[in-house]
């Protein structure tokens, strides 16, 4: 008697996918918003070197989006990542995404707790560079996954 192995689906449920994409876009937009405010906009003329008044709001939005993202990402680990790894599907881009999110979590922690300004600047650069790279890598991961999960025609 042949045993049929059930392959858990790798495709995300629509509500989970929408949530993940929404918070990912919010993370990207708020991160870029902060970068623009920090590097290109100036604070009040009365206080040279003061941050632009929008910087804290961009950080608040970024932090809120990060909480939502971590919730959606945690849910991915239980089925999507585990099933993909077991099925040997889309591992290369999946590992890139996992590594990027891991480094982003660590650098975010560092930005919050590192007191040394020079080290904080290095960690900050790594955080936003990897964040932008991850935003570019996510569509690649999705496209490769869709191509690999597409039924093959005879």
pLDDT at 82: 87
- The per-residue pLDDT for 7 is 56
Tally of structural domains, the chain: 1
CA distance 111 to 2: 55
Residue 3 lies inside a defined structural domain of this protein:
no
Contact 95, 140 (CB under 8 A): no
Name all contacts of 103-109 with Cβ < 8 Å and 24+ positions apart. 103/130, 104/130, 104/131, 104/134, 105/70, 108/66
Its domain, for residue 125, covers 14-149
Would you say residue 132 lies in a domain? yes
Residue-wise pLDDT for 58-97, tens only, equals: 999 999 999 999 999 999 988 888 888 888 888 899 999 9
Residue 114 in domain = yes
Domain presence at residue 96: yes
CA neighbor of 28 nearest in space, from 73, 57, 61, 52:
61
pLDDT given at position 125:
97
Which stretches in the chain have pLDDT values below 50?
Answer: 2, 4, 153-154
Instruction: Tokens for 108, please give them.
Output: 């975010």
């Amino acid at each position: 008697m042949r045993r049929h192995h059930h392959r858990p689906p790798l495709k995300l449920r629509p509500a989970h996918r929408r949530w993940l994409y929404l918070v990912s876009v919010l993370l990207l937009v708020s991160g870029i918003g902060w970068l623009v405010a920090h590097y290109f906009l100036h604070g009040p003329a009365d206080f040279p070197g003061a941050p632009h008044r929008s910087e804290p709001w961009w950080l608040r939005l970024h932090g809120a989006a990060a909480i939502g993202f971590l919730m959606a990402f945690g849910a991915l680990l239980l089925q999507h990542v585990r099933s993909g790894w077991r099925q040997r599907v889309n591992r290369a881009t999946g590992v890139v995404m996992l590594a990027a999110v891991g480094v982003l979590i660590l650098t975010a922690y560092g930005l919050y707790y590192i007191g040394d300004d020079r080290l904080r600047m290095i960690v900050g650069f790594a955080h936003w560079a990897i964040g932008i790279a991850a935003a570019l890598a996510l569509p690649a991961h999705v496209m490769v996954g869709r191509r690999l999960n597409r039924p093959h025609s005879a």
